[in-house]
Amino acid sequence: MSAPVTEVHAPDTLQEAVDRVLRVPDRHRTFAKDAAFAQQTWAIGPALLEALLDHGLPHRGEGEARRFERTDLHNISTYLNLPSPYFQALSRKAQALDEVARKGERHIHELQLRVECARTGHTGECAFTPIAGLDRYSEPGSMRETSPGLFTVRAQLPSNRLLFDEDRSDLLSLVADWELYVLPDGVIEDEGFSRETRLANCLIPTRLLLREAERRGIRARHGAGLLVAPPFTTLHHWVEFELDGDWVPADPVLLTAFARWGMTDPADWPYNRSVAGIVWHLLTWPPEVFFPVVRDRGGQAPVHIASR
């Protein structure tokens, strides 16, 4: 028998979780997900869902017809450290970051990309083309298509224990207290929203830091690619600084989130430490928020990426 919700999550904690999502204006909610989705995808069971509703969780409808905004459920689940596949994947990424740094050596990950047809913009058979970075930044000769729509590649990820200098650390501190958050589409590129609420995805603080780096005369670039930690790999944005001819990645919002969720020791992983070891650079200055990894006759093809 499971413990009552109040024994697992204090009322104040539940209220904080709901208040956090209420920073997002209601006009950005679509209310398309049901209670079954909340439980199966985000580990929010019926008792916890009712408790969240008592604390003001936005919804539409009543009873079995109740519907919720998917990003609200996602962010509440993460805030409460619920054992969703997403949270477990984040924990694995933090663990991988720490493991790579402690070993002090390059890590090789084999990635499998399963691509789906873009389905719009062309007729005839699909013609899948991985972006150039997958081959350029991988282990030489490892990029191959093993069957139509199935690619494998070996990623080489470096490791270091680098803490950025005072000037770069001061720059990174501008967003170090922002909370990593899955934003709904209406504010996904809205820097004003993130400045006001301190809630941000990986893209918005990256753009802010790059603009401020240019103003301060610090050489930086926009890194985009994959956040790699077996078995899950996801698209990601971060800032990179040029140091002695190398580009070194930084991601203060991600490191602060790992520490906040108890996944890393903030003494070992402060916001101004490099995240080399889990980010794989594929693109510089990507034009799209959700940049393509594989194209299908010019269109962006859906892709599922597994790693080991």
Q: Give burial (CB, 10 Å; 0-12/13-18/19+) of 79.
A: buried
pLDDT of residue 304 exceeding 90: yes
Residue 61's pLDDT is 97
pLDDT in tens, 278-293: 899 999 998 888 999 9
Residues 6+ apart with CB under 8 A from 62: none
Whole-prediction pTM: 0.92
* For the ranges 77-91, 158-172, 208-222, 264-278, the one whose mean pLDDT is highest: 208-222
- Domain assignments of the chain as residue spans, ordered by start: 5-83, 84-308
pLDDT in tens, 71-98: 999 999 999 999 998 899 889 888 888 8
User: How many whole angstroms from its chain centre is CA 189?
Assistant: 14
C-alpha closest to that of 223 among 240, 211, 210? 240
Among left, alpha and beta (phi > 0; psi -120 to 50; other), residue 65 is alpha
What value does the mean pLDDT take over residues 240-252?
Answer: 96
Q: Give burial (CB, 10 Å; 0-12/13-18/19+) of 223.
A: buried
Do residues 31 and 68 touch, judged by C-beta distance below 8 A? yes
State the fold for domain 84-308. C8orf32 fold (3.10.620)
Residue 1's pLDDT is 45
Residue 2's pLDDT is 53
